Structure 1
Amino acid sequence: MLLILLLACGSWSMFGQNSNQSKYGPVLGSTAQVANIGSSNPQIGDCDTTVKHENLDNGLYFGGSINHRIAVDIDVAPQTLLTINTINITAGSYPEPTYFHFKFYKDENGFPGDLISEVTNSAITAMDTLHFIKFEIGYIRDVTIVPETPIELSGDISEKYWMEVSTDAKAWSVSPDASDVIGLPLISSGNNEPWFYWVDLEAQYHLDADCSPILGIGDVTGSRIDIIVYPNPVNDLLTIKAPMDTVETVQLYTLTGQKLIDGQFRNQLDLSEYDAGIYFLQIKLKNGKVIYKRVLK
């Protein structure tokens, strides 16, 4: 039987057979399937994060009369650039959702602080129906969202970010199990009220992400050095545009850290012999700083 929970502090609502979860206590459930790559050291390679659960009968409503907001935290290792390529959200609604928007905030004492970026240009590329709940919720779907440009979060700016999701879907599925919480539990708010935690509860989502180390963003006499790499994605020739006499060497690495190119700076690299995939370009400046660029082929 579907239950609706209205907390005493207002119209906060959650659906589900185990909908006794709030900031006041935990929900019991079966073991979640969780994978997360995190480290206190700079990373390179695959940094996917996944929260999936066999129980799809629990969730939090989006929007509504109180403009219900939901956010999850994302940890980034220091000196690491986390690049999010694809986001999967497990969401419920009768009609198929038509959009997903994202806001990314720096963490401030365990809650969203300054807004870092807002992503409204994204495409829904796939939807898989996983479950059906009668009455208000409808179909639970795994929705794949690809932002127009990859989302970059720097561990040098903040080691924790918050991702807020807004959509015309009805609700965001949650995992009713303390074991699946990555970092901090999900938080929610509404009508401009303060954010609060749903203890031991995590939203179901997947981030397809890559990590690359940040050893420095070059500055010369206080001026930022802008390095442009194009086309990206690339088929054969990759052009590197940099201010005159600023770059010393260029190296190209695979996701596993294998070095493919190592040499003095030249403004074009031939990548035609390499397989399709993700690569990292390390650009060493003459001032000693190093810049990393992610390259798709």
Structure 2
Amino acid sequence: MPNSTKVTEFLLTGFSEVWEFRVLHTMLFLLMYLVTLTGNLLIVIVITVDQRLHTPMYFFILNLSLLDMCYISVTVPKACVIFLLNNRVISVVGCAAQVFLVLLCACTELLLLTIMARDRYVAICQPLHYHVIMTPRVCVQMTLASVLSGLVYAGVHTGNTFHLSFCRSNVVHQFFCDIPSLMKLSCSDTLSNEITIFVSATISAGGCFSFIIMSYSHIFSTVLKFQTRAERRKAFSTCVPHILIVIIFLGSGSAVYLKPTSKSPLIQDMVISVFYSVVPPFLNPVIYTLRNKQIKEAIWKVMRRTLTSFRKIIII
């Protein structure tokens, strides 16, 4: 495309041009999408229905599940269309919306994970003050603050990105619109954008990660002082899943956003992007349902109620 031509739409890219691989990628993404929606929706229903789970920890898990359903829905449905139908076109407005929503969900998820680390710290290290510190009002305020911070973060970076001129090409080497891939297509000077992204991502991600590490260092030092092995196992079981999600999410996101744009191998970025845009929403329900005894019991309870009601309807 000539330098004088202004881009009015973008073309997203799949992992392969081979039909068999495209079908395989579609099936994998669609399976992960359906499992993510089903698992997170089940968690939302169970926590809402079961009164025993109306605690701060499960309140944050519920919000994380709602966010994950939105997060994966921003990228995966369009990716499946690209893989299966080879319909790669996305408008500039649609691309901007995708960038904004991805950043909003990613930033909000990071802040929610940080708040959840704070919740576990207070529950384990200050159990007598837990219900005084983590009141329902405080939990709602922290959740709203996370969403508002995500809106500001996403708005600033989306505005800065689409303030650039795109005239070199319209082929985005990614299965969804993200800022590093778009900046490669810009004919404007992107140095200030790269510096802004690096500084803001370092401050936000680094600050959240430091806070999480500090929280868990206090948690582990307290847990090791517990007298019985059962108490230590119960405490660790609520912390380990959270740490796994944080490592995967921050590690993969940093690998894409915190390195120079010109030094980004295309296929490597596409694979890594799966780990911060698709894998965390997919793993959250799996980890929290398989490792959380209370949620598993609540799920079985809801399923038994549903089956009983269904049988009564059939008999009638």
Higher strand share: 1
TM-score, with structure 1 as normaliser: 0.21
TM-score, with structure 2 as normaliser: 0.21
